Amino acid sequence: MTFVDKLLAASRKNESLLCVGLDSDPELMSGVSLIDFNKAIIDATADLVCAYKPNLAFYEALGIDGIKALHKTVEYVPRHIPVIGDGKRGDIGNTARAYAQALFEVFGFDAATVSPYLGFDSVEPFIKHEDKGVFLLCRTSNSGAVDFQSILDIDGVPLYERVARKAREWNVKGNIGLVVGATYPEELKQVRKLCPEMPLLIPGIGAQGGDLAAAVEYGVNSKGEKAIIAVSRQVLYASQSKDFAEGARRSAQELRDKINGLVRRSAH
């Protein structure tokens, strides 16, 4: 099963475009271990999501114990739900091959986020894993994205759009997606127009202030699918008490249902 097949199957089974980011921060937990926190979150939300997305930085910052917790977290996610390794890797070819091997073969992620700015030879080792998803950074959700991603090339095309066009060109195996922040709805609309069937990973909802309605309207494809609305803190820390798992479930269900309502509205 390819990543896209797995994503669509989970999305349809759970009637969900919601991806919960497992960006677990020990300082915000309720006196439980990292792996126990993640397991409780997964148990509480596994029927409400289309994917999970651990950000590797939160685990790497804890050293070997964090890496072990990451490995156990990926193993704990139900097999039918895809897991996206959010490491934003990007380097020259031989190093990229090692990154791809680590993320896909060692940790077992179904997809990974990758920086395309070193060019095709830095992306190709990821694409070669045909059953895995490769999400190229296109229009990221942070405010500093404008520093480079809005710069116009000699033809008057902004860099983010050039990335989308290259991704479309490179997508011969059908396993490339794009990261486009909900904080830039007009750019999201343009990327979806350029890449009508690519999966789009859409961060920036919640703490970053992205517009959920615009993210859904502009992010989904013609069938109301292939948008992965990624939310982390709003779900993970909906409650910072002992009932954190129940709080996470309430928040995830509210978001899932709100997204579905917006999908139905945009279809009419």
pLDDT tens for residues 97-131? Answer: 999 999 999 999 999 999 999 999 999 999 999 99
> 210: pLDDT confidence band, cut at 50, 70 and 90?
confident
Alpha helices in the chain (DSSP H): 3-14, 34-45, 56-60, 64-76, 93-100, 120-127, 146-149, 159-170, 185-194, 212-219, 233-236, 244-266
Residue of higher predicted confidence among 208 and 94:
94
pLDDT at 30 over 80: no
Mean pLDDT of the chain: 95
pLDDT at 267 over 80: no
Q: In degrees rounded to 5, what are phi and psi of residue 51?
A: -170, 165
Closest Cα partner for 218 from 238, 234, 194?
194
88 is catalytic: yes
- The pLDDT tens digits for 233-264 are 999 999 988 899 999 999 999 999 999 999 99
Q: Which residue type occupies 74?
A: V
> 268: pLDDT confidence band, cut at 50, 70 and 90?
low
Domain residue ranges of the chain, discontinuous segments joined by +: 3-266
For the domain 3-266, what is the CATH superfamily, name and number? Aldolase class I (3.20.20.70)
- Its pTM stands at 0.96
Closest Cα partner for 53 from 116, 117, 135?
135
Closest Cα partner for 130 from 156, 155, 104?
104
Residue of higher predicted confidence among 169 and 24:
169
What local confidence, expressed as pLDDT, does residue 208 receive? 73
Of 39, 68, 88, 173, the catalytic one is 88
What local confidence, expressed as pLDDT, does residue 26 receive? 87
- The pLDDT tens digits for 136-162 are 999 999 989 999 999 999 999 999 999
Closest Cα partner for 85 from 63, 115, 52, 121?
52
Cα–Cα distance measured from residue 268 to residue 266, given in angstroms and rounded to the nearest whole number: 5
Residue of higher predicted confidence among 185 and 27:
185
What local confidence, expressed as pLDDT, does residue 94 receive? 93
Query: What is the secondary structure of 229-257 as a DSSP string?
Result: EEE-HHHHTS--STTHHHHHHHHHHHHHH
